[in-house]
Amino acid sequence: MFKGLYVAMVTPFKAGKVDLDALAKLTDSLVEAGCDGLVPAGCTGEAATLTADERREVTRTVIEAASHRCKVVPGTGTNNTTDSIGHSRTAEELGADGVMLITPYYNKPGPEGQYRHFKAVAEAVRIPVILYNVPGRTGVNMMPETVWRLAEVANIKAIKEASGSLDQVSAILSRCDITVLSGDDSLTLPMLALGAKGVISVAGNVAPREMVRILEKFAMGDLEGARQAHYVLLPLFKALFAETNPAPVKKACEILGVCSGELRLPMVPVKQETEAVLREVLRRMGRL
């Protein structure tokens, strides 16, 4: 159901407001580049600083601009189960192909709390659910045992696994058939080797065709080609996480003229050194 390249989209801002025109143009360009799916209003989309109305408009804009040419799976998870249900129902009403639910942050629930949270949200909607495990942001890891239990919930179909642990990916896939999607661009290739089906990518905002190449080469059994495509992108992967995401990718988007690099506090623009590295990486890739 979920496979290939999904892009964790940035949210363009202009003078403090969501730039819906730029968002629609970004959506169209990503679809044309061959993306299988788009994930607006996630961590990369600065969802934590979006109002409920802004989340709705971001989701609506991407769905309309994508126009059924690829899947749209907005981030609807928060650390509040009731709010997560509300955002998820809104996404379903707007025609989303699924929703992505981050592990509750700040509260840091244990395995039983995580299980009940995700199960409650999944059962409140009819569309498929992608779990999102990113302990570096949430402060809590979703253990394989919890994923195994959640995989039994009918519409929980996938997990964006961003723990950084290949052992954890192996453990998940050894005991259930949930779809695993890489949540770390630089770990996409090794995760594919373990059985992952794709990636929800930050780099895809600025290098979607190059990300597609890794997946296509691997699918064709061209492992050397996949490795070389990975090596080409490795400097970009490093540069995009030289500072807290999404500040670097927003700057890269600005450099390439995709949208403004405007962020919302508490996020601030990258340092000059990071911008210089980004420019050099994009130049070497032939993008400048």
> Please, what are the domains in the chain?
4-221 (3.20.20.70)
Residue 288 has a pLDDT of 87
Q: Are 180 and 142 in contact (CB under 8 A)?
A: no
Amino acid at 58: V
Q: Which 3 state secondary structure label does DSSP give 14?
A: strand
Q: Are 47 and 75 in contact (CB under 8 A)?
A: yes
**CA–CA distance, 72 with 256 (Å, rounded to integer):** 24
Residues 104-113 pLDDT 10s: 999 999 999 9
Kindly list the averaged pLDDT for each block of 10 residues, start to end, along the chain of length 288: 97 98 98 98 98 98 98 98 98 98 97 98 98 97 98 98 98 97 98 98 98 98 98 98 98 97 98 98 94
pTM: 0.97
Q: Between vectors from CA 164 to CA 160 and to CA 165, what angle results, nearest 5°?
A: 100
Residue 81 has a pLDDT of 98
Residue 1 has a pLDDT of 85
**CA–CA distance, 73 with 92 (Å, rounded to integer):** 10
Residues 70-101 pLDDT 10s: 999 999 999 999 999 999 999 999 999 999 99
Residue 145 has a pLDDT of 98
Instruction: Report residue 97 as tokens.
Output: 């192909």
Q: Which 3 state secondary structure label does DSSP give 224?
A: helix
Q: Are 166 and 191 in contact (CB under 8 A)?
A: yes
* Secondary structure element (H or E) that encloses residue 18, with its range: strand 17-18
Q: Between vectors from CA 40 to CA 148 and to CA 264, what angle results, nearest 5°?
A: 115
Q: Give the distance between the most distant pair of CA atoms in the chain.
A: 49
CA dihedral 75, 216, 240, 6 (to 10 degrees): -10
Pairing mode, strands 13-14 and 17-18: antiparallel
Instruction: Report residue 72 as tokens.
Output: 């749209």
Q: Are 61 and 24 in contact (CB under 8 A)?
A: yes
Q: Residue 177 burial (CB < 10 Å; 0-12/13-18/19+)? A: exposed
Q: Are 121 and 129 in contact (CB under 8 A)?
A: yes
Which residues are known catalytic residues?
132, 160
